[in-house]
Amino acid sequence: MPVAVVTDSTAYLPTGLLASHQLTVVPLTVVLNGMEGREGVETFPADATQALSGRRVSVSTSRPAPAQFVHTYRRILDGGADGIVSVHLSAGLSGTVESAGLAAEEFGDRVAVVDSRSCGMGIGFPAVAAAEAAATGADLAAVHAAAQRAVARTTIYFYVDTLEFLRRGGRINAASALLGTALSVKPIMHMRDGVIVLRDRVRTASRGIARLVDLAVEAAGDVDVDLALHHLAAPQRVEALQVALASRFGDRLRSTYVSEAGAVVAAHAGPGLAGVVVHRRPPTDG
């Protein structure tokens, strides 16, 4: 491709999409009880969930260093690409975009960085949109614009069993976490303006799944959609979510991707997570 697309490991793209769209992934780092590992390379979801089940646990994550991005960008450009669009985890959650931006400065106008303002396939859908544009021969500006449009057309909601892990990682404030704990409710979270906010509260996991379905339908409006479903050590929840969403969307559902969230999200959300990412297709598409 004249323009290559780079993303990071928190996009949780299914393997088939990674291969078919020739996407390059830069991994974040997860530290479990002092042991570092690159997400998806040396550290996997089961490692994090096992660590989190222990009584004494230290789990943290760190962004890729700018040098990692410099190495990746240089390899791709030296390999023949004219330019790179690099799509990453929300700046409100991580310094990954900042690292990518610092690295991009070394390559002038040959690298464009996109803040997805999201996580999971909230990053993945814009990365795929960029790759699809690149495959048509679009130039760097057009590929960058395709990613930005996809960011604006993508919405994510997710259910967690507890807000404690998000509180520990500093991804939500202590007051929100305390409220959820005090009321013994199950929270549904939403990415808004690039940060995680509390969207709803339910009493049980089953009601949480039902509410995710309602929110996804509401987010879709009246256009066709692609959906991505994520879970963490909760395959039955995501299966129930998939069945319910297929029933509600019918012919408007163009594709569904299912993947387990990785160790970075595990560290901050905890086991039991179930999420849905809604990508609204343009009304003229198909």
Q: Write the DSSP symbol of residue 252.
A: G
Q: Residue 1: what pLDDT?
A: 63
pLDDT 10s digits, 185-225: 788 989 999 988 888 888 888 999 999 999 999 999 999 99
Residue 266: closest CA among 45, 72, 26 = 45
Task: Map out the domains of the chain as residue ranges.
Answer: 3-28+63-152, 154-280
More confident residue, 278 or 232: 278
Q: How far apart are CA 256 and CA 276, in angstroms?
A: 10
Which position has the higher pLDDT, 270 or 84?
84
Higher per-residue pLDDT: 125 or 197? 125
Tell me the CATH class for 154-280: alpha beta
Phi-psi region of 33 (alpha: psi -120 to 50; beta: other; left: phi over 0): left
Return the pLDDT at 35. Answer: 83
The pLDDT, as a whole number, for residue 166 is: 65
Backbone φ, ψ for residue 28 (5° rounding): -80, 170
Instruction: Convert the pLDDT of each residue in 131-183 to its tens digit.
Output: 999 999 999 999 999 999 999 999 999 998 877 666 665 545 544 544 445 45
pLDDT at 177: 47
What DSSP state is assigned to residue 89? S
Q: Which CATH number fits domain 3-28+63-152: 3.20.20.80, 3.50.50.60, 3.40.50.2000, 3.40.50.10170?
A: 3.40.50.10170
In this prediction, residue 231 carries a pLDDT of 94
